């Protein structure tokens, strides 16, 4: 992602110096926030990938029994819907949330007992088992 950002910023710089339409002060000023936004998004994504890589390198996963406390869908009307699930372990303060695929969203409901396996740092759901459904992240 850093390479893509660097190419985009280099393209902006080339446009500013070679194209007469881009050689205004305000166009150059407008490109600074765009470059900063790209860098911020990239750094956030790199941090998430770093945690996942660390989880995968150590080979550690956490398995716990709990109860599904919420299953939700968010749709803003412009992009495809996103699905989330929260699982509570014992007391309500020890819940964890995950992004899930639509098939899992349709197969489970609130209140079901579940056994999950997830990565501890990046909080990626690897497996979820209920009495009626089994989800494994590597299944197609």
Among candidate residues 39, 1, 35, the one with its CA nearest the CA of residue 15: 35
- For the chain, the average pLDDT equals 80
DSSP 120: T
Whether the CB-CB separation of 60 and 120 falls below 8 Å is answered with: yes
Question: Per residue in 42-65, pLDDT tens?
Answer: 777 777 777 777 777 777 678 889
Return the bridge partners of 86, or none.
Answer: 70, 97
Cα→Cα distances 16→37, 39, 75, Å: 18, 19, 38
Enter the pTM of the model.
0.59
């Amino acid at each position: 992602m850093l390479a893509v950002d660097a190419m985009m910023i280099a393209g902006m710089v080339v446009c500013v110096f070679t194209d007469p339409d881009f050689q205004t002060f305000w166009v150059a000023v407008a490109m600074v926030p765009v470059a900063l936004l790209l860098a911020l998004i990239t750094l956030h994504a790199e941090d998430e990938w770093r945690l996942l890589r660390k989880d995968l390198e150590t080979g550690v996963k956490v398995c716990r029994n709990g109860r599904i406390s919420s299953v939700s869908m968010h749709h803003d009307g412009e992009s495809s819907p996103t699905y989330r699930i929260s699982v509570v372990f014992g007391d309500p303060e020890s819940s964890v949330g995950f992004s899930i695929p639509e098939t899992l969203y349709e197969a489970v409901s609130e209140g079901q007992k579940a056994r999950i396996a997830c990565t501890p740092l990046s909080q990626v759901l690897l497996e979820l088992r209920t009495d009626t459904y089994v989800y494994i992240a590597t299944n197609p």
